Chain A
Amino acid sequence: MSASRFTLHRLWAIVLKEFIQMKRDRVTFGMMVGIPLMQLMLFGFAINSDPKHLPTALRAADQGPFARTFVAALRTSGYFTLTHEATTEAEARRLLQLGEVQFVINIPEDFSRRLLRGERPTLLIEADATDPSATGPALNAVRAIADHVLDRDLTGPLARLHAKAGPIDLQLHAHYNPENITQYNVVPGLMGVVLTMTMVIITALAITRERERGTMENLLSTPVRPIEVMLGKILPYIVVGYIQVTLILVASHFVFHVPMIGSLPLLYAVSLLFIAANLAMGITFSTLAKNQLQAVQMAFFFFLPSILLSGFMFPFRGMPEWAQWVGSVLPNTHYLRIVRGILLKGNGLAEITPHLWPLLAFLVVAMAIGVKRYRQTLD
C-alpha cells in the first residue's frame, strides 16, 4: 500500500472530535471525576490521618517511679488516653477483643528492679491492628518514648544504663493484622488504582464503540492512519488522567494530610508514563474486543490483578513468588512504588528510575500490539 504519511492535522482532528464527544457525554465525564472522589471517600473512612486519644488499658504490676514516668510520657504524647485499668491478662485481652481499647500496656512486676540492674526489662504493648492506619503513628510514638523517656531519670550513676540499645526492651505485639500497612500507603496507592480503572476502561471502549456504531467503516474509508487514530484517542484522556491525579493529590493533602516530601513536578512528569501505559493497554483491548461488553470484561480482567497483585491490597513481599512475578509486569505495581517513594520517602529521579523502565517497556509493547491489531481494512 502506498503510504499516506502521518500528519498532525489529522491527529488534531481526532483529538478535537474526542473532546467534543467527551463534552457531550456528561455521564462518562462525571464518572471520570466522580470515581476518584468516591474511591477516596470510601478508602478515606478507614483512614484517620492523625488518630489521637486512642483508648488504652494499663496493666501495671509495678507502680514504681520509672513505670509512672513512662505512663505519663505516653499520656502527654496525646496518642493514648488511659480509659481502663486491667488487673489480669484475660481482662486486658477481653477489652482488646471487644474493641473497648486500642492498646494494652503491660508493665511487668519487676520492671523497675530489672531496669536498675541494667537487664532491659520487657515492656509489652499489645495493639488492635485491624485498622493499621490508626495504630501506626501511635506505635511510632511509643518507640521514641521508650528510648528517651528515662533520659532525665537515668542520670549520675544510672547513666551507664543508656549504654546499650535503649534501657527498655520494647515489645510491640500487633493483633489481628500483623502486616501493618500504614495509612499513608493507601491514599497514594489509590492514584494508581483509580487511573488503572478509569483509563483502561475508557480507551477499551474507544475503538470498539466506533466499530459497533458503524463509524469505523467511515473512518477507514478516509486517509486517516492507524497511529493517528490511536494517538488521537489517547491524548484527550491524558488530560483526564491529570485531572484525576490532581484531584487525588489535593484530597490527599487537605483531607488526609498525607505527607508530600518529594517533588510534585517529578510525580506529575512520571505519571505521564503510567497514564499512557494504561491508555495504550485500553486501546489494545479495544482492538481485540468484538463488542463493548467484551472490552469492559477485558478491562476488568486487567484491573483485578492491578489492584490485588500490585501491593495495593496485600504487601508485595508477602505474596507467593508467581504472584510477585505477575505483579512486577503490571504498571500499577511500579507506579505505586514511585508514588509512595516520591510522596513519602522523598525519592528523586535516581531512586525511581528502576521503576520507570518497566513502565516504558509496558507502554511500548501495548502500543505496538495495538497498532498492529488495529485493522486498517475490514478483512
Chain B
Amino acid sequence: MPPPPAAAPPGSDFAIDVTGVTKRFGSKTVVNAIDLRVRRGEIYGFLGPNGSGKTTFIRMLCGLLTPDAGTGTCLGYDVRTQQSDIKRHVGYMTQKFSYYEDLSIRENLDFIARLYDLPDRRAAVQRSLERLGLANRSHQLAGQLSGGWKQRLSLAACLIHSPQLLLLDEPTAGVDPKARREFWDEIHRLAAEGLTVLITTHYMDEAERCHRLAYLAYGKLLTHGTLDDVLASVRLTTWTVTGPDLLDLAKKIRSLPGIEQVVAFGTTLHVSGRDAAALEASLTSVRDPRHEWNKIRSGLEDVFISLMDSAKDNFA
C-alpha cells in the first residue's frame, strides 16, 4: 500500500471527530446524537443489534446521507459540506455486495480506478489484484465468486485509491473462520501502515481484535472505549453452573430477583446480573450440591446484551 497522500488534510489526530450526529427517517430517530472520535491508525469496532443505526451512521460519515443534526469532520473535512472531498479519501465497503456481477474482477477494479481518476491505473489495479491474491482469478465474473472471494474483491476495490480511512460495514458476514482470520490479519497490516479502520460486526471475537469499541442500540451510543473500558462500563457479575438438570434450573432461576441473563453454553449455564448482591442472594436460594458454581469475568456478549436490555427499558 502506498503511503497516504502527502497533502494530508488539515486536522487533528482524529480521523473521525463528530458530535451530536442525528438522522431521522420520518418520525423515527435512527441515529440519535452520537459523538464519536476515532484516532488515526486505529481499528475501531462498531457494534450493535440489527437496526441500531450502524449502517446509517457510516453512510453519514462518507457523505451518502446528510445528517439532520450534528457537526464534525471526517479526515478533517466537514461531513456536511465537504462530502466530495471525503469521498475521495475514504474507502467504503457496503454491507451488501455492491460491485457488478456481470463484470470480471479486473473490470470491476478497473472501473473503480477510473472513477477515482488514478494516475497509473493499470499498475494500481495489478497491485491490488496481487495484494489480495486475486491475480489468477482476475477474469472470473464477480457474480460467480463465492462469499469469501466477493469480500476480497470488495476490500481490494475500496483500497484501490489508497484511502486514509476505511469504513467496513459487516465485511465478514457469511465468511468462513479461516477467511475471516485472514481478513483480520489484513486489516491489522493496513492499520499498521497508518490506515484508520471503522468496522461493524456482530462477532464478539472480532470485536476483541479491535483497538477500541463502541456499542450502539436504538440509535444511541451506549458505551465506548477499549475492551476493558467496555467490560468495566457495566458492572456485570456472571456465574457459571455445571451439573445435571440445567434446563429445569434455568427455568426456575430466570424469574428470581437480580438475575437478568441465563444463557446455556453447551453443558454450562451462564447467569448474570448487574446487582451482584441480589444475584448472589438468589443463587444461594437454589443451591444444590449436585451443581458446581463458579464466578467468572463477564464476556463482551453478556455485557452487550445487558446494555441492550437496559437501553430497551430506557428508550423503547
In the bound complex, what is the Cα–Cα distance between A21 and B66 (angstroms)? Answer: 32
Beta-carbon contact of B102 and A224 below 8 Å: no
Beta-carbon contact of A222 and B82 below 8 Å: no
For the complex, is A7 an interface residue (Cβ under 8 Å from B)?
A: yes
Beta-carbon contact of B88 and A4 below 8 Å: yes
In the bound complex, what is the Cα–Cα distance between A220 and B87 (angstroms)? Answer: 9
Beta-carbon contact of A1 and B81 below 8 Å: yes
- Binary CB contact string for chain B from 91 to 105 against chain A (1 if under 8 A, 0 otherwise): 010101111111100
Segment with Cβ contacts to B, from A12-20, A77-85, A88-96: A12-20
- Whether A377 touches B98, Cβ cut-off 8 Å, given contacts A9-B114, A222-B87, is no
Beta-carbon contact of B117 and A10 below 8 Å: yes
In the bound complex, what is the Cα–Cα distance between A218 and B111 (angstroms)? Answer: 12
A13 CB contacts on chain B under 8 angstroms: 111, 114-115
Beta-carbon contact of A7 and B117 below 8 Å: yes
Beta-carbon contact of B98 and A214 below 8 Å: yes
Beta-carbon contact of A2 and B64 below 8 Å: no
- Whether A378 touches B65, Cβ cut-off 8 Å, given contacts A21-B103, A214-B94, is yes
Beta-carbon contact of A221 and B92 below 8 Å: yes
B87 CB contacts on chain A under 8 angstroms: 4, 221-223
CB distance from A10 to the nearest CB of B (A): 6
- Binary CB contact string for chain B from 58 to 93 against chain A (1 if under 8 A, 0 otherwise): 010011111000000000000001111101101010
B112 CB contacts on chain A under 8 angstroms: 222
For the complex, is B203 an interface residue (Cβ under 8 Å from A)?
A: no
Size of the A side of the interface (Cβ < 8 Å), in residues, is 30
In the bound complex, what is the Cα–Cα distance between A24 and B107 (angstroms)? Answer: 12
CB distance from A207 to the nearest CB of B (A): 14
For the complex, is A213 an interface residue (Cβ under 8 Å from B)?
A: yes
B115 CB contacts on chain A under 8 angstroms: 10, 13, 219, 222-224
B98 CB contacts on chain A under 8 angstroms: 213-218
- B interface bracket (residues with beta carbon within 8 Å of A): 20 to 34
Contact residue among B64, B85, B117 (Cβ-Cβ distance under 8 Å from A9):
B117
Beta-carbon contact of A378 and B64 below 8 Å: yes
In the bound complex, what is the Cα–Cα distance between A12 and B117 (angstroms)? Answer: 11
For the complex, is A321 an interface residue (Cβ under 8 Å from B)?
A: no
In the bound complex, what is the Cα–Cα distance between A9 and B115 (angstroms)? Answer: 7
B111 CB contacts on chain A under 8 angstroms: 13, 16-17
A25 CB contacts on chain B under 8 angstroms: 102
B102 CB contacts on chain A under 8 angstroms: 20-21, 24-25
Among A9, A221, A378, A379, residue most surrounded by chain B Cβ atoms (within 10 Å):
A221
- A-contacting residues, B94-141, CB 8 Å: 94, 96-103, 107, 111-112, 114-117, 141
A214 CB contacts on chain B under 8 angstroms: 94, 96-98
In the bound complex, what is the Cα–Cα distance between A213 and B98 (angstroms)? Answer: 7
Beta-carbon contact of A377 and B66 below 8 Å: yes
Beta-carbon contact of B64 and A220 below 8 Å: yes
- B-contacting residues, A1-48, CB 8 Å: 1-4, 7, 9-10, 12-13, 16-17, 20-21, 24-25
CB distance from B161 to the nearest CB of A (A): 9
CB distance from A276 to the nearest CB of B (A): 24
Beta-carbon contact of A21 and B100 below 8 Å: yes
Beta-carbon contact of A2 and B81 below 8 Å: yes
- Whether A17 touches B103, Cβ cut-off 8 Å, given contacts A10-B115, A217-B64, A220-B64, is yes
**Which residue of chain B is the closest to A1 with respect to CB atoms?**
B83
Contact residue among A1, A3, A215, A224 (Cβ-Cβ distance under 8 Å from B99):
A215
In the bound complex, what is the Cα–Cα distance between A377 and B81 (angstroms)? Answer: 13
In the bound complex, what is the Cα–Cα distance between A13 and B81 (angstroms)? Answer: 26
**Which residue of chain B is the closest to A17 with respect to CB atoms?**
B111
A24 CB contacts on chain B under 8 angstroms: 102-103, 141
CB distance from A230 to the nearest CB of B (A): 15
Other 16 A-B pairs with CB < 8 A, given A4-B88, A7-B117, A222-B87: A2-B84, A10-B115, A20-B102, A20-B107, A214-B94, A215-B99, A215-B100, A218-B99, A220-B64, A221-B87, A222-B116, A223-B88, A223-B116, A224-B115, A377-B63, A379-B65
CB-defined A-B contacts under 8 Å, sample of 6: A1-B84, A2-B84, A20-B107, A21-B100, A215-B100, A217-B98
Binding site for A on B (CB under 8 A): 59, 62-66, 81-85, 87-88, 90, 92, 94, 96-103, 107, 111-112, 114-117, 141
Rank and list the top 4 A-B pairs by shortest CB-CB distance, nearest first. Answer: A13-B114, A218-B98, A222-B115, A221-B92
